[in-house]
Amino acid sequence: MARVRAEPYVFRFEASSVALLIIDMQRDFVDPGGFGEALGNDVSLLRAAVSPTKRLLEAARKAGILVIHTREGHRRDLADLPPTKKARGRLKTGIGDPGPMGRILVRGEHGHDIIDELRPMAGEPVVDKPGKGAFYATDLDAILKSRGIGQLLVCGVTTEVCVTTTVREANDRGYDCLVLADCVASYFPEFQRSALEMIKAQGGIFGWVGMSADLLAVLEAKARKTKNSNVTAKRAAA
């Protein structure tokens, strides 16, 4: 059983029943010219989460932990786009409209895809979601259940929108979530702080909050152990 320092108390997990869930690290949110900027935000604030998430992603892969990526977006015919979501914000350029990275939040477009630094590897499930929560109208729950996953290590953007919506959905479905504070980001520093506070308040009402360095140390130790036992097994077989 691995143990990671976290708030409100230590987070325990088995590598075989935990997944790294990376939420919506798409150009549309992180890069200029996408949905995030169309909403009036300074997208550069989200960049802070990229390097720590990349380190965790690489460590999770080496430790043999399942990695799942999500993308918020819609069908090319926008048939799954609620008119209310389209109308919200009275945007000049909104969902489905052409932008410098293609049609905004539309599947298959350059802006809709995940940033190069965190590109999914073959075999890692990518869950396309029409809403803010990663469980709503997706097969995420089925993917997790079929692999025996009960706990989630959560990274992504934005903290108070898709990350917390997903953590709340996960919590109600019986999953334990550890949110890595430096691997999630918001366009609003005060929302970043308060969203994380809300997760861990009241004895961890929605989950745990930790720092990537603490998790990284645990994952790296696990990867070393796996490598050493592989070497021992190979020697024994030789």
Footprint of ligand TIU (CB under 6 A): 24, 29, 39, 72, 132, 157-158, 161-162, 187
Our answer to whether residue 162 is catalytic in this structure is yes
Our answer to whether residue 77 is catalytic in this structure is no
Peptide bond preceding 8: is omega within 30 degrees of 0, i.e. cis? Answer: yes
C-beta of 94: minimal distance to ligand TIU in Å? 11
C-beta of 89: minimal distance to ligand TIU in Å? 9
Our answer to whether residue 24 is catalytic in this structure is yes
3-state secondary structure of 53: helix
Point out the residue whose Cβ comes nearest to ligand TIU.
Answer: 162
Q: Which of 28, 31, 113, 129 is catalytic?
A: 129
Largest CA distance in the chain: 68
Nearest in space to 75 (alpha carbons), one of 109, 53, 46, 106: 106
Q: Which of 113, 132, 155, 162 is catalytic?
A: 162
C-beta of 159: minimal distance to ligand TIU in Å? 8
Q: Which of 24, 28, 31, 128 is catalytic?
A: 24
Distance between start and end Cα atoms, the chain: 31
Task: Please answer whether residues 184 and 193 qualify as being in contact, where contact means their C-beta atoms are separated by less than 8 angstroms.
Answer: no
Q: Cα separation of 4 and 213, whole Å? A: 10
Q: Which is nearer to ligand TIU, 162 or 209 (CB)?
A: 162
Q: Catalytic residue positions? A: 24, 129, 162
